Amino acid sequence: AQSVTQLGSHVSVSEGALVLLRCNYSSSVPPYLFWYVQYPNQGLQLLLKYTTGATLVKGINGFEAEFKKSETSFHLTKPSAHMSDAAEYFCAVSDNDYKLSFGAGTTVTVRA
């Protein structure tokens, strides 16, 4: 069975600063990895996903994530935070059954 750990339930960054959200997973098979964003009172929106191939994945809104098998990590980054990035971010893992297991989420606040 797979599981996801997101380090830090809250992250606060200044506008223009680097955003780094950490995600570690456990899976018995090569995983599929996802990052979702949830804005207040909205559903989850897919930011990016890793299935196979290139380990550096680019997503929407300037986000990217790197799959590191040796570290069982899939950290999410954005070089320069914008006020509109304030939201909750969820890392998720799926194995061969395509069911998603989510982390507990990280809330990002952006300071002006």
The footprint of other proteins (CB under 8 A) covers 4, 9, 32, 36, 41-46, 49, 51-52, 90, 92, 98-100, 102-105
Alpha helical stretches, state H, the chain: none
Q: Smallest distance from the beta carbon of 7 to other proteins, in angstroms?
A: 14
Smallest separation, CB 10 to other proteins (Å): 11
CB of 102 to other proteins, least distance (A): 3
Q: How far is the CB of 13 from other proteins (least distance, A)?
A: 21
Cβ nearer to other proteins, comparing 18 with 46: 46
- For other proteins, the closer of residues 29 and 112 by Cβ is 29
Q: What is the sign, positive or negative, of the torsion defined by CA atoms of 70, 87, 7, 16?
A: positive
Which of 12, 80 has the CB closer to other proteins? 12
- Distance separating alpha carbons of residues 88 and 109, to the nearest angstrom: 9
Output the six-digit token pair for 13. Answer: 């960054």
How many Cβ atoms are within 10 Å of 32's Cβ, its own excluded?
19
Q: Is the Cβ of residue 64 or residue 102 nearer to other proteins in the bound state?
A: 102
- Using CB atoms within 10 Å of the CB of residue 84, give its burial: 0 to 12 exposed, 13 to 18 middle, 19+ buried: exposed
